[in-house]
Amino acid sequence: MSPNGEEKIKRVIRFVLSAVLLFGLFQDSFATISGNWLTVQLLNHNQEFNSLELTVSLKTESEWQTKKIVWPANHAQSFLETDFDLGHHKSIDVLKIIWPSAEEQILNEVEANQVLAVEKPKFPLPPSNLFARVVSQNQIDLIWKDNSDNEIGFSVERSEYADRDFKEVGRVPANKNIFSDKTVKENATYYYRVRAVSENGLSIFDGAYQKTEENTGLVLEDVTQPLRMYPNPSRDFLDVRVNNDIMGDVIVKFLDEKGKELKSLKFRKNITDLKRKVDISALPFGIYMVEVSLVGYRSLFKNS
């Protein structure tokens, strides 16, 4: 074969290889273009999330994708990004962001193929002083303090374990702070937690627990607060204990479920751990709110 013929064959081979390579690159590019995606850009204008973890989850049909992001210490940028491959899905049913402060932000019906910038919204203040009381072997009543002014309701969750498997058992509308759980079983211990719900998302939880095999002399204590009232329910005397560094006058008011004041007393607090026994024998049978103005917390007891 002449030199010219060999050169022609080499050129043909190079052309074929180049065509195969280009087709392969084109296939990859086509696959990338045809697949849907979402980039979530988390904004951190105040640099409050350094070294803290965020969780971003999204749901398409019945499938969830979750990514955990740790904001680097001394991170100079005011945002971080995370990418999701959505395949053939052109929208996201639910996008959930758990911020480092534990509030949950929920976005529904998010369009695909965009860079979505998300800033932490104003979440409702969480409820506090959640108390649980056994009414019967098949009913536990919950009451809590409403601290928010922008909630659309409250979500009540329950579990038989202190640290897992919580499921929502009910919701109550805004400004209502009482819930009756009538689905409990006899001789069981239940753990409850409540959080405020708003248009922006969900607050952190406040929690309590209760045992259905007991219904008298209960000590119902929210361990995150310095106020205790016991026994619960009570018949004649209620022990009030305030353990904090605030000194001054303590005003205790007994209110009915409509907020009407039935009894009031005042005493001086000049020590850290103050204990007082309050006579409630004159109060009629019922459920009451007890408001302590020094700390602003509320608790529930049953006079029976």
- The CATH number of residue 301's host domain is 2.60.40.1930
> What is the band of 38 on the pLDDT scale with cuts at 50, 70, 90?
very high
With respect to residue 25, please indicate whether it lies within any of the assigned structural domains: no
Residues 235, 257 share a domain: yes
Residues 128, 112 share a domain: no
**Structural domain ending residue among the three candidates 162, 181, 215:** 215
Strands 273-279 and 189-198, sheet pairing: unpaired
What pLDDT does 304 receive?
A: 38
With respect to residue 196, please indicate whether it lies within any of the assigned structural domains: yes
- Going from the C-alpha of 302 to that of each of 105, 202, 253, 277, the distances in angstroms are 37, 30, 15, 16
* Digit-coded pLDDT (tens) for 196-211: 999 989 999 887 655 5
Nearest to 207 by CA among 198, 216, 195: 195
Q: Do 230 and 242 meet the contact criterion of CB atoms below 8 Å apart?
A: no
Residues 85, 57 share a domain: yes
What pLDDT does 20 receive?
A: 43
Q: What is the mean pLDDT of residues 135-163?
A: 88
Residues 75, 126 share a domain: no
Residues 133, 97 share a domain: no
Q: What is the mean pLDDT of residues 133-148?
A: 84
What pLDDT does 37 receive?
A: 96
With respect to residue 29, please indicate whether it lies within any of the assigned structural domains: no
With respect to residue 78, please indicate whether it lies within any of the assigned structural domains: yes
Residues 201, 129 share a domain: yes
Torsion sign over Cα 119, 125, 131, 137: negative
Angle at 227 between CA 159 and CA 303, to 5 degrees: 80
**Structural domain ending residue among the three candidates 93, 118, 143:** 118
What mean pLDDT value characterizes the chain? 77
247 versus 186: the higher-pLDDT residue is 186
What pLDDT does 133 receive?
A: 77
**Structural domain ending residue among the three candidates 118, 139, 166:** 118
What pLDDT does 246 receive?
A: 65
pLDDT at 267 over 70: yes
End-to-end alpha carbon distance in the chain: 113
pLDDT at 2 over 70: no
> What is the band of 106 on the pLDDT scale with cuts at 50, 70, 90?
very high
Residues 243, 204 share a domain: no
With respect to residue 22, please indicate whether it lies within any of the assigned structural domains: no
Tell me how many domains the chain contains. Answer: 3
CATH at residue 172: 2.60.40.10
With respect to residue 21, please indicate whether it lies within any of the assigned structural domains: no
Residues 102, 41 share a domain: yes
What pLDDT does 97 receive?
A: 95
Q: What is the CA radius of gyration of the chain?
A: 30
With respect to residue 161, please indicate whether it lies within any of the assigned structural domains: yes
Residues 139, 105 share a domain: no
What CA–CA distance (Å, rounded) separates 88 from 254? Answer: 60
pLDDT at 240 over 60: yes
Residues 241, 301 share a domain: yes
Residue with tokens 């919950």: 142
Q: Among 42-56, 193-207, 216-230, which is the least confidently predicted range? A: 216-230
What pLDDT does 293 receive?
A: 66
What pLDDT does 252 receive?
A: 82
CATH at residue 100: 2.60.40
What pLDDT does 168 receive?
A: 96
Q: State which residues form the domain around 88.
A: 36-118
Does the model's pTM come out above 0.75? no
Residues 154, 137 share a domain: yes
Angle at 134 between CA 186 and CA 216, to 5 degrees: 105
- Going from the C-alpha of 298 to that of each of 17, 116, 162, 177, the distances in angstroms are 79, 41, 23, 11
What CA–CA distance (Å, rounded) separates 290 from 285? Answer: 15
Residues 100, 172 share a domain: no
**Residues near 99 by beta carbon (within 8 Å), at least 6 away in sequence:** 49, 54, 105, 120
pLDDT at 120 over 70: yes
What pLDDT does 65 receive?
A: 96
> What is the band of 151 on the pLDDT scale with cuts at 50, 70, 90?
very high
With respect to residue 199, please indicate whether it lies within any of the assigned structural domains: yes
